[in-house]
Structure 1
Amino acid sequence: MALSNSEIADIFNQMADMLEIKGENPFKVRAYRNAARTVQNLGKSLDSLMEEGMELTKLPGIGHDLAESIAEIIETGKFSKLEALKKEMPEGLDKLLSIEGLGPKRIRQLYDTFHITSLEELAKVAESGEIYTLKGFGPKLVEKILKGVRLAKKAGHRFRFDVAKPFAEELRSYLENFEGVIDVEVAGSYRRKKETVGDLDILVVAENWERVVDWFVAFEKIKEVVSKGPTRSTVILRNDLQVDLRSVAKESYGSALHYFTGSKAHNIKIRKMAIEKGWKINEYGVFQGERRIGGETEEQIYRMLGLRYIEPELREDRGEVEASLEGRLPKLVTLEEVRGDLHVHSNWTDGHASIREMAEAAKAKGYDYIAITDHSRHLTVAKGLDEKRLREQMEAIDKLNETLDGITVLKGIECDILEDGSLDLPDSVLNELDIVLGAVHYKFNLSKKEQTRRIVKAMQHPCFNVLAHPTGRIIGHRNAYELDMGEIFKACKNEQVALEINAQPERLDLNDIYAKVAKEEGIKLSVATDAHDPMSLDFMEYGINQARRGWLEKEEILNTRTLKQLKALLKKG
C-alpha cells in the first residue's frame, strides 16, 4: 500500500517538528523540512519514480540518508526513526505546533512548566492567566494563542484541497476502470473546488452496485470500512478522510450530481424556483406530482428553470442564479489561458533551482514568460537580495534571455513592505525592474488601522505593481492579519496596483470572496504560484480554482495577457 506524496511529506514534517521540539541540530530539522517540500511538490508519485529506477538523490534536498528513508516509508508504510522519536516525546505536543505564535521552544517551555499536551490544557492555562508567569508570554501572544486554539478547533477534520485531491482522483480512476461502471463523479465541496474538504462524496452509475461496493472497499488505502449498504457505503482512508460512495440511477444522475455538489444555499434557491413552477426537485429527479419530468443531466435541470448552466465553483448563492437569469454569468478563466507566472523564486534566495531551470520548466508548460521575484534584503532567513546582488541577478537575467528561445524571463523582486510602509530597496534599483511585488513578512499583529496604513502607503510607491499574498493567512494555521479591505481596494484602484491570488495551497490568498469584490471594483489580479522549484509551478491549478470561485474571467487577470500587453499594464500611470 504505497503512500501518497502528501503522506510522505507529512511524515517528514512530523519528524522535523519533533526534532525541533526536542532541540536537535537545526540543520537536521531543515533537511527534513526541505525534503517534505520537495516530495509534496513532485508531479509524479515517489512510488512510480522508484519503480522507474530513478535515483532519488537527484531530487532537490534529498541526500543518501533521506533517499533510504523514502524507500523505507514506501516499502513499509512507516518511518522507524519517527516511531522511535515519538516514543521518546510526551504524546500530544506535536498538536500544539498548529497554533500561531507557538514554536518548538515555547511548546517545550509550556510542557516543562505546566505539562501541557493538548489544546484544551493550553486554553485553560492561557485563560487562567497562569501562562503570564512564563518569560516572553505577554498579552498579545496569549491573545494570539487563544485565537489559534479556536481556529484549530474550528478547522476540525477538514483537509486542504491539495491533500484531498490525490485521493479523490485515484479513487475516481480506480472506480472508472472497473467493469460495469458507467459514470463516476466526485461531488460536494471538492467539485466546487473549495479551499478545504470535509469528506468526499462519490456518485456512481453502475450495472451491478454490489460488485462495485466490493471493489470499492478493497481499495488499498482504506483504514476502516464503516458501512456497506444497498445505496451507500462509507469508508475512512488512512489519513482519516471519509469517503461516501453512493449508488445513482442513470435517469437520476443529473439531479443527484446537483444535489450532492451543493452548496446547500444554492440548492435551496433552485428548489424554490421549481416550487414556483409547481415542481419538486430532489436527488432523484424533477417531479410534477408523482411523474418524473427531468433530472438526467444538470444542464437539463437548469434549462427547465430558464437558467444557463452554472459552473460548480459558482454555486454558493452569491448572485449566480440572478446572473444566470439575466444572461451575465462570467466566462470563467481556465488553466489553459494562463500565459505566464509572475511570482517565482530561484536559488539566488530560498528557491531550489536556477533561473534557467525555472524558465525551462515554465516553457515546458507552454508559458511565454515568468517573473523571477526573489526576496529582498529584509528577509534574511531567505537570503534576501540587497541592491548589489539584485543588480547582479538582473544582469544574469539579461544574459540568460539572450540564450532562451520561446520564453522571456522578467526581472522582478518580492520586496518587503517595512513597518512604516516604505519598501525594502531603493528607488534607483526598483525603477529598473519589470515588476515589483510588495509583501508583508513580519509584524502581522499591527492594529487594523496601522496595518492598512502600512500597506496603502507602500502601494503608493510608483514602482509597486502587485500586492502579494495580500492578507497573509495560512489555512488552518494563521488568520489573516487585520485590514480594512475597503481601503485596500480603494488604494489598488487609485494606484493601479493588482492583487495576487497566491496559488500556494496553504495560502490561496486572496480568498474567493475578496477576489469577487476586486473584480466588481475593476481591480486586476495576478494568479501566481510563488514557486520555489520547478514542480511548484503546478500549483497554478489551485490558484485558477480560486479565481474561478471568485468569478474571474481571462480579461481580469494579468498573466493571461501577451507579454506586450502585460508590460503595458505594469507601467503605472
Structure 2
Amino acid sequence: MNKKIIIRTLEKIAVYMEIKGENPFKVSAFRKAAQALELDQRSLDEIENVTKLKGIGKGTGEVIADLIATGKSSVLEELQEEVPKGLIPLLKLPGMGGKKIAKLYKELGIDSAEALKQACLDHEIQKLPGFGPKSEDKILKELTDFESKPGRHPIWKTEEAVKFVEEILGAIEGISEFSVAGSYRRTKETSKDLDFIIATSDPKTVKEKLLAALPVQETIASGDTKVSVTVEFQDMIDIDFRLVAPEEFITALHHFTGSKDHNVRMRQLAKSQNKKISEYGVEQPDGSIATFTSEADFYAHFGMPFIPPSVREDGREIDRLEELPNLVALEDITADMHMHTTWSDGAHSLPEMVEAVRSKGYSYMAITDHSQYLKVANGLTPERLLQQNAEIRELNKKYSDFDILSGTEMDILPDGSLDFDDEVLGQLDFVIASIHSSFQQPRDQIMERILTAMKNPLVDMIAHPTGRIVGQRDGYDPDVEQLLDWAKEYGKIVELNASPYRLDLAVEYLEMAQEKGVPVAINTDAHAAEQLEVMAIGVKHAQKAWLKKDNVVNTWPLERLRAFIKK
C-alpha cells in the first residue's frame, strides 16, 4: 500500500458517488481527502497517522484506515455493485466525467455505450441542459472512434491481466513452468487476447484447478490440452491456455509466441537442415525428436543466437542476426532520468525513490518533479524547486558510488513560453520539457511550442514527445520528423517513455530517431517506486525499433551524458 493507491481509490470513490448522484458535499469530501494526501510531501510511511491530516474527515479517514489494514475499500466495493457497470466505460470518452454521466443516466436512463449512441442518433442528448448539438456530435464522434478499435486491449491493461493470471498459475500445484506467449510476450502495443503455455504432467487436474480459480464468464473451448475462456478482468478478455508435457514447453512457447512470419522463416531454416519444427519439438533427420531446456538452446540447435521475442515480427529479423549483440538490453541500463516524488504527485519521498533506484544497481538518476503550471499534480514553484535542489545536493553527499541529478519536468505552456525562467533552470542538472495541455491546438502552434523548448540551451530532453496514451488517445499530433530534425540540430535527447500507458515514442519514430542520430533516453516516468519496474517494457519496446545500446543515453556513464549536455 502506498499513497498513490490511496489517492486513486479516494478519487475513484468520488467518481462513483458522482455517477450515482450522491450529495456533492460528500463527493467533494473524498476529493479533498485525495488532495490533502497529494499535497503532503511525505510518503505514507513517513506520515505518523494519515487519518489525522487536515482535509481528511471521519468518513474518508475510515476508508483510508480500511485500505491500509486490508488493501481494499468496502465503500468502493459497495459502489461498484450499485452503479450500473455499463456506465464505467463511458469515463474513457474524452470530456465525459461523473457529473455528465450521472445526468445522462438520471434524465435519459442511459446505462451503456450502446444506449448513449442511440440517444445521440435520436438527438435526445442535445435537448439536455448543458449539452447542445455540438456536444452531441462530439460524443457521437468519440463513441465511433472508440468502436473503431474493437477487440484490441492496450498493453497497460493486458499487463495487469497477465500479472493476475500469473499469480493464479504460481499457486497451482502440478505446474512445473508457465509463461505468457503471443503478442503480449512480443511487446505489441495491443493484443486481441492472451496466450499462456503451461508445463504439467497432470493436465486434467491442473485444468480443473485453473478453471476453479479464474473469474470465467464463458468457456469457449475445453479439451485435454487446451482451454479457451473469457475472463472478467476490468473488461472482458479472452485467454487461451495450452497444457503441454514439461519436455515440450520450450518449443510450444516458441511456437505460440510467434509471430506467424517468424515461425515461417524458422521452419524454412529447419527444412534446409532436413529438420522439422513443431510445437512438440524438432524432428531430426533420423526421425528422433529433440526438445530443449531454454529458447537459447532451441536457437543454438540451428546455429543461431537467441532472438528476443520483441523482434520476432516480420521474419526479417533472421537476416539481422549480426545486429543482435548491439541491441539495447535491460542489463545495459545504468540510469533512470524521469521520475516523481511526493514533492509533486509521486507516492514516495525523495530519499525513498533514491534508495529504490540504487537498489536496481544503477549508477545515477534524475529527480524530475512537475513544474508549477501543472497544479493538479502539485507542481513545484521556483521556490520549492530550489528547496528540493538543495535537498538533493545534501543527499548526494551520502553516496560515493551514486549520483542524483536535480531536475524538473517543466511544462511547455499553451502560449509557447516555458514554465521556469533561465535563472532557475541554470541551477539544475537535467531539464525535461513536455506538453501536458491544450492538445487541440493546431499542429503549427504545437510545433512552435516544441521549438521554443528545443532552442533553449538549458533544456536537455523532450519527454513523451507525442503525448499519446496507448489505445486511448493519439496525443497532440506533432510533425515528429521535424521534431527529430530539431532535436538533432539543437542537441536534444528525445524520450522513450517506458510507461505501458505511453510507450512514447512509437516504434516507427524510434527507428527514425536512430537513423537521424538523435539520442534516446528510456525512462520510467515513475510516480511510485514499484513503477521503476516498467523499464523492462520500455527496453523491449526499444528493441522492436532495433535501438542500439550506444544510441540510448541512459546506458552511458554519467561523464559522457554530462559532456553531451555541456556540448
TM over 0.5: yes
**How many Å apart are 1:527 and its aligned residue?**
1.6
Amino acid of the residue matched to residue 164 of structure 1? A
Render the CA deviation track for 1:440-479: whole Å, top value 9, x for unaligned. Answer: 1101112333323332332122122111111112233322
Q: State the partner residue of 2:252.
A: 256
Q: State the partner residue of 2:337.
A: 342
Render the CA deviation track for 1:466-517: whole Å, top value 9, x for unaligned. Answer: 1111111223332222122111221121122112122333222223333233
Unpaired stretches in structure 1, ≥5 consecutive residues = 43-48, 50-54
| CA distance in 1 between partners of 2:540 and 2:501 (Å) | 14
Does residue 320 of structure 2 align to residue 323 of structure 1? yes
Equivalent position to 2:141, from 137, 146, 156: 146
| CA distance in 1 between partners of 2:285 and 2:336 (Å) | 54
Q: State the partner residue of 1:560.
A: 555
Equivalent position to 2:27, from 18, 25, 28: 25
**How many Å apart are 1:272 and its aligned residue?**
5.5
Does residue 194 of structure 2 align to residue 200 of structure 1? yes
Equivalent residue of 1:470, what SS? coil
Does residue 118 of structure 2 align to residue 121 of structure 1? no
Amino acid of the residue matched to residue 30 of structure 2? K
Q: State the partner residue of 1:95.
A: 89
**How many Å apart are 1:8 and its aligned residue?**
10
Amino acid of the residue matched to residue 27 of structure 2? N
Amino acid of the residue matched to residue 248 of structure 1? V
Equivalent residue of 1:344, what SS? coil
Distance 1:65 1:109, change over 3 A: closer
Render the CA deviation track for 1:66-90: whole Å, top value 9, x for unaligned. Answer: 232565676xxxx543354356645
Equivalent position to 1:214, from 186, 208, 213: 208
Q: State the partner residue of 1:244.
A: 240
Equivalent position to 1:370, from 362, 365, 374: 365
Equivalent position to 2:542, from 534, 540, 547: 547
Distance 1:33 1:550, change over 3 A: farther
Amino acid of the residue matched to residue 257 of structure 1? L
Distance 1:221 1:91, change over 3 A: closer
- Per the normalisation by structure 2, the TM-score is 0.82
Distance 1:384 1:203, change over 3 A: closer
Render the CA deviation track for 1:89-141: whole Å, top value 9, x for unaligned. Answer: 45532221011221223333444554433223333455666655654667599
Equivalent residue of 1:154, what SS? coil
Q: State the partner residue of 2:441.
A: 446
Q: State the partner residue of 1:189.
A: 183
Aligned length in residues:
545
**How many Å apart are 1:220 and its aligned residue?**
6.3
Identify which range, 383-392 or 438-447, moves more after superposition.
383-392
Equivalent position to 1:162, from 152, 159, 167: 159
Amino acid of the residue matched to residue 432 of structure 2? L
Does residue 388 of structure 2 align to residue 393 of structure 1? yes
Distance 1:345 1:70, change over 3 A: closer
Equivalent position to 1:232, from 219, 226, 230: 226
CA contact (8 A) 1:151 1:476 kept: no
**How many Å apart are 1:229 and its aligned residue?**
1.5
Equivalent residue of 1:217, what SS? helix
| CA distance in 1 between partners of 2:406 and 2:99 (Å) | 39
Amino acid of the residue matched to residue 13 of structure 2? M
| CA distance in 2 between partners of 1:86 and 1:112 (Å) | 17
Unpaired stretches in structure 2, ≥5 consecutive residues = none
What fraction of aligned residue pairs are identical, expressed as a percent?
A: 36
Render the CA deviation track for 1:211-248: whole Å, top value 9, x for unaligned. Answer: 43334334366666655422212344452444322233
- Per the normalisation by structure 1, the TM-score is 0.81
CA contact (8 A) 1:285 1:294 kept: yes
CA contact (8 A) 1:217 1:225 kept: no
Distance 1:420 1:140, change over 3 A: farther
**How many Å apart are 1:30 and its aligned residue?**
6.1
| CA distance in 2 between partners of 1:384 and 1:200 (Å) | 39
Equivalent position to 2:66, from 59, 65, 68: 68
**How many Å apart are 1:284 and its aligned residue?**
4.3
Amino acid of the residue matched to residue 163 of structure 2? P
